[in-house]
């Protein structure tokens, strides 16, 4: 493989100054943070936005006539419009705030399932899913008496998309698929999957958690029926997420949680529900999370998602080449398209042991099954070492990892 050259206009050294934690040392060594698929670090503008909310603006939203509540409500709904623009949704009514990707998928599994899934129906997932886009559908199938069908994974880690047509049938009610694998970095052909499903009038839910940080997203162009992601994967706070859903689906689905703000009128004789998207946003919202998420989105938009994608593509090619040429390293999977993450093994060294020693050298990677046990087992393993990248990752990070891997082999040799 020919090594790609870095983009000349992308100043990663300058960008790294925006992330305070990257200056710290761990075990006396400079931090090399390669666990970005688990969560990315936060730029100072996001940290400051959250701090400012709690320090000078804190109030509950949607429920008060006093100044702080009115200002908070305006800021909160501006955040919704920022996120709407970022993902290309046609209306604010299609943007539901949740606590993360997991909560968003569970919302759909419960609410869509209650409305549309019956005994004998079928849900299709892929064999590459994060547990958050697998277990909710298993539970739905158990509740409803439906059947879970699985789109297989090929030996290289790509989905066997040519088999989807045979899985789609008259009783298929939904296809749920990840945009990008958190374990292998595989970028799935989402456009093709959606087109095939829609040709049979089957809606599609996309788990976009691992895609949003690495590539521009346009849900309208994708034509996804549901698209879920988490703020903490895209430089925002933990505990905040987004469900995009086409308005027609949200209108036809019952509420998932009940309580304050999702109601229009309540009496002992019955309740009517609020308009979209508030029908699905019960209780006191995570306002700081919304504002931090909006600040994070404005930050990456200022850099340009196309520029981020180009930088990370170059870096991924470099990392695959360097690790693939490293003695004693076995790459796990060889998908046609990758983004964000690489999984590998070090000969005769358990991934947990490797991760522990790498940590002592300042290298933060993830070891284990990455909440994707069926996929990791399909690739023939119980655990792998995963290095994952972000807009601030560098070739120096990759070089440090490769040098540390050689030391791990020597340590256990």
Q: Is 314 part of a structural domain of the chain?
A: yes
Rounded to whole angstroms, the Cα distance separating 331 from 261 reads: 49
Q: Do 216 and 256 belong together in one domain?
A: yes
In the predicted model, is pLDDT for residue 292 greater than 80?
yes
Q: Do 406 and 297 belong together in one domain?
A: no
Q: Do 312 and 165 belong together in one domain?
A: no
CA distances from 197 to 6, 25, 150, 166, 192 (A): 38, 49, 14, 11, 9
Q: Is 5 part of a structural domain of the chain?
A: no
CATH number of the domain enclosing 255: 3.40.640.10
In the predicted model, is pLDDT for residue 8 greater than 60?
no
Query: Quick one: 26 exposed, middle or buried, by C-beta within 10 A (0-12, 13-18, 19+)?
Result: middle
User: Number of folded domains in the chain?
Assistant: 2
Model confidence over 341-391: pLDDT tens digits? 999 999 999 999 999 999 999 999 999 999 999 999 999 999 999 999 999
CATH number of the domain enclosing 29: 3.90.1150.10
Q: Do 311 and 220 belong together in one domain?
A: no
Number of CB atoms found within 10 A of residue 394's CB: 18
Q: Give 2's pLDDT tier (boundaries 50, 70, 90).
A: very low
In the predicted model, is pLDDT for residue 44 greater than 80?
yes
Q: Is 311 part of a structural domain of the chain?
A: yes
Instruction: Determine whether 141 is an active site residue.
Output: no
Domain boundary (271, 302, 333) is at 302
Structural domain containing residue 334: 12-42+305-412
Model confidence over 84-118: pLDDT tens digits? 999 999 999 999 999 999 999 999 999 999 999 99
Q: Which of 236, 211, 234, 235 is nearest to 224 (CA)?
A: 211
Rounded to 5°, the CA angle 90-86-33 comes to 150
In the predicted model, is pLDDT for residue 413 greater than 80?
no
314-331 average pLDDT score = 97
Q: Is 127 part of a structural domain of the chain?
A: yes
Q: Do 258 and 285 belong together in one domain?
A: yes
Q: Do 364 and 287 belong together in one domain?
A: no
Q: Give 64's pLDDT tier (boundaries 50, 70, 90).
A: confident
Q: Do 348 and 243 belong together in one domain?
A: no
Q: Is 275 part of a structural domain of the chain?
A: yes
238-252 average pLDDT score = 98
Q: Is 1 part of a structural domain of the chain?
A: no
Q: Is 2 part of a structural domain of the chain?
A: no
Would you state the structure tokens that stand for residue 99, as one six-digit string? Answer: 């606590």
Model confidence over 151-196: pLDDT tens digits? 999 999 999 999 999 999 999 999 999 999 999 999 999 999 999 9
Rounded to whole angstroms, the Cα distance separating 150 from 169 reads: 13
Q: Is 259 part of a structural domain of the chain?
A: yes
List 176, 288, 371, 408, catalytic entry = 371
Cβ pair 373, 131 in contact under 8 A = yes
């Amino acid at each position: 493989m020919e090594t790609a050259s870095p983009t000349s206009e992308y100043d990663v050294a300058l960008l790294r100054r925006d992330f305070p934690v990257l200056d710290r040392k761990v075990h006396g060594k400079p931090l090399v943070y390669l666990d970005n698929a688990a969560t990315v670090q936060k730029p100072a503008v996001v940290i400051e936005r959250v701090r400012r909310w709690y320090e000078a603006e804190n109030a509950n939203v949607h429920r008060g006539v006093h100044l702080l509540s009115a200002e908070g409500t305006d800021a909160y709904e501006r955040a919704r419009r920022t996120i709407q623009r970022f993902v290309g949704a046609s209306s604010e009514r299609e943007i539901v705030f949740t606590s993360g990707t997991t909560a968003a998928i569970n919302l759909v599994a419960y609410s869509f399932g209650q409305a549309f899934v019956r005994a004998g129906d079928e849900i299709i997932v892929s064999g590459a899913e994060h547990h958050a886009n697998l277990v909710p559908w298993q539970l739905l199938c158990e509740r409803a008496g439906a059947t879970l069908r699985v789109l297989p994974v090929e030996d290289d880690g790509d989905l066997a998309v040519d088999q989807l047509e045979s899985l789609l049938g008259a009783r298929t009610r939904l296809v749920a698929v990840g945009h990008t694998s958190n374990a292998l970095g595989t970028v799935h052909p989402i456009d093709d999957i959606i087109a095939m499903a829609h040709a049979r009038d089957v809606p599609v839910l996309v788990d976009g958690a691992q895609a949003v940080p690495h590539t521009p997203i346009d849900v309208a162009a994708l034509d996804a029926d549901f698209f879920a992601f988490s703020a903490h994967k895209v430089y925002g706070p933990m505990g905040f997420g987004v469900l995009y859903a086409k308005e027609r689906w949200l209108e036809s689905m019952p509420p998932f949680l009940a309580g304050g703000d999702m109601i229009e009128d309540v009496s002992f004789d019955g309740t009517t529900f609020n308009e979209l998207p508030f029908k699905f946003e019960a209780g006191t919202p995570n306002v700081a999370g919304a504002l931090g998420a909006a600040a994070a989105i404005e930050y990456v938009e200022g850099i340009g998602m196309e520029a981020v994608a180009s930088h990370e593509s170059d870096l991924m090619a470099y990392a695959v080449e360097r690790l693939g040429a490293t003695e004693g390293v076995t790459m796990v999977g060889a998908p046609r398209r990758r983004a964000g993450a690489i999984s590998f093994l070090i000969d005769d060294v358990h991934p947990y042991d490797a991760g522990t020693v790498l940590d002592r050298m300042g290298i933060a990677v993830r070891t284990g099954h990455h909440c994707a046990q069926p996929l990791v087992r399909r690739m023939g393993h119980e655990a792998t070492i995963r290095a994952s990248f972000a807009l601030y990752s560098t070739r120096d990070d990759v070089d440090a990892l490769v040098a540390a891997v050689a030391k791990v082999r020597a340590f256990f040799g």
